[in-house]
Amino acid sequence: MPLLPSPLPSSAAYIDAFSRAGLPVLRHTARAFEELRGAEHPPGAREIAAVVLADPLMTLRLLTHLESNRRASQNHDITTIERAVLMLGVEPFFTAFSALPTVEDTLAAHPKALVVVLKLIARARRAATLAREFATMRRDHEVQEITVATLLREATEIVCAIHAPTLTLEAIARRQADPARPAAEVQREVFGVSAAELQHALIAAWRLPGLLAGLLDSDHADNPRVRTITLATRFARHQARGWTSPALQDDLAELEALLHQPRESLLQRLGVPADLRAGLLPDTQAE
């Protein structure tokens, strides 16, 4: 299916277009699967899951495949990637996910959009790593589910950038021209819908497991697990601008409250370079 050159009339129209086009994966992911399949010793579910979790698109592809091929005897959701691989079986997994289309080939004629997609994916990975750390610090019992949900938090923007690269670059240009404008406002202006609105529609249409869907639901913003995902995603976005980004101060204050961690300990856990930590301490501590 050709990439979308102009906006569609509704969320439903976008869902239909994205569903028919399918999800490509990173070229690295496709190559890693080929290597694992051809290895002398058959890979285990954990090895395969590690490759899947490095690629939010492959993660989404696996979960939607599992749900669309759900067995009548399956009476519970599969919400972690290793369990998903175990449910399919190693050989059936490779059969289902062979000769995958790649992001790089899909966007070969749109190099600027490809850079955007790769940056979004890198940010999603960083957010998932942070969320896993935060969930562990909170002694949460659903660390794996929180990690997966965080990885998928920005999947809608990634999918839009892949299937509608021209519109995505236009939205980015408008935000850069007027940074004070809310992202949702610009998205509605360019796409006709916001990323959040489209995400709700995608979650329903692609039938993500209920637990993951709940963790991605902004209506549950006060839930500590949802807060963990939100703050990890926000922190990754702000950190991408550098450790001196002013927005990090508010993020850190909210993380202190969520994790019950003093600022200095939190900065160390986050891997902030020692020479930059003083600049991220509250004014009362920095003096």
Q: Is the pLDDT of residue 84 over 50?
A: yes
Across the range 259-287, mean pLDDT stands at: 84
d(CA 221, CA 216): 9
Instruction: Report the percentage of the chain scoring pLDDT > 90.
Output: 70
Mean pLDDT of the chain: 90
Average pLDDT over residues 62-70: 84
**Confidence check: pLDDT of 249 > 70:** yes
Q: 139-148, pLDDT tens digit by residue? A: 999 899 999 9
pLDDT at residue 75 is higher than 80: no
Q: Residue 202: which pLDDT band, with cuts at 50, 70 and 90? A: confident
Let me know: does 209 contact 77? Beta carbons within 8 Å. yes
Give percent of the chain above pLDDT 70: 95
Burial 143-180 (b: 16+ CB within 10 A, else e): bbbbbbbbbbbbbbbbbbbbbbbebbbbbbebbeeeee
Among all chains, which residue has been given the structure tokens 């790593």? 129
**Chain center to CA of 279:** 29
Res 101: pLDDT: 95
pLDDT value of position 36: 95
213-228 pLDDT, tens digit per residue, is 888 877 788 899 999 9
What is the distance between the alpha carbons of residues 172 and 177, in angstroms, rounded to a whole number? 9
pLDDT over 60 (residue 285): no
Question: Tell me, what's the pLDDT at 203?
Answer: 84
Average pLDDT over residues 131-160: 93
Q: Using one digit for the tens of pLDDT, what is the confidence trace for 102-123?
A: 999 999 999 999 999 999 999 9
Residue 72 confidence class, pLDDT cut points 50, 70, 90: low
Residue 66's pLDDT is what? 87
Q: Is the pLDDT of residue 77 over 80?
A: no
Overall average pLDDT of the 164-180 stretch: 95
pLDDT at 59: 95
Q: What local confidence, expressed as pLDDT, does residue 287 receive?
A: 46
